Copies of this chain bind each other. A is one copy, B any other.
Amino acid sequence: MSQYAKPPIQPFEISLDIPTGALSPAGPTLIRKLSDLEGCFENKEAFQSEVAQTNPIVYQVISSLVPETARELPQSITTIYPGSCGDELYMTKGHQHPDPQGEIYYGLEGTGGIILFDGKEKKWLDISPGKIGYIPPGWAHRSINTGSTPYKFLAVYPGSAGHDYGWVLAKGMGFRAFDSNGKLVLKDFVI
Q: How many copies of the shown chain assemble into the complex? A: 2
Decide if A114 is an interface residue (CB 8 Å cutoff): yes
A residues neighboring B (CB under 8 Å): 8-16, 18, 23, 64, 66, 71-73, 75, 100-104, 106, 114, 116, 123, 125-127, 130-139, 154, 156-159
A18–B101 contact, CB under 8 A?
no
Q: Assuming A125-B11, A125-B12, is B131 touching A72 (CB within 8 A)? A: no
The answer on a CB contact under 8 Å between A102 and B159 is: yes
If over half of A's interface residues share one DSSP class (helix, strand or loop), that class is named, otherwise mixed; here it is strand
**In the bound complex, do residue B130 and residue A71 qualify as a contact, i.e. CB atoms below 8 Å apart?**
no
In the docked arrangement, what's the CA distance between A18 and B123, Å? 27
Tell me the nearest residue of chain B to A154, going by C-beta: B106
The answer to whether B131 touches A15 (Cβ under 8 A) is: yes
A17 to B99, CA, bound (A): 32
With both beta carbons as reference points, the residue of chain B lying nearest to A115 in the complex is identified as: B11
* Given A10-B136, A13-B126, A16-B131: A75 and B104 interface contact (C-beta under 8 Å): yes
A143 shortest CB reach to chain B, Å: 13
Contacts of A8 in B (CB 8 A): 136, 138
Name 26 A/B residue pairs within 8 A (Cβ), A-sorted.
Answer: A8-B136, A9-B102, A11-B114, A11-B116, A11-B134, A12-B125, A13-B125, A13-B126, A13-B131, A14-B133, A15-B131, A15-B132, A16-B131, A18-B130, A66-B102, A71-B101, A71-B102, A71-B137, A72-B101, A73-B102, A73-B156, A73-B157, A73-B158, A75-B104, A102-B159, A158-B158
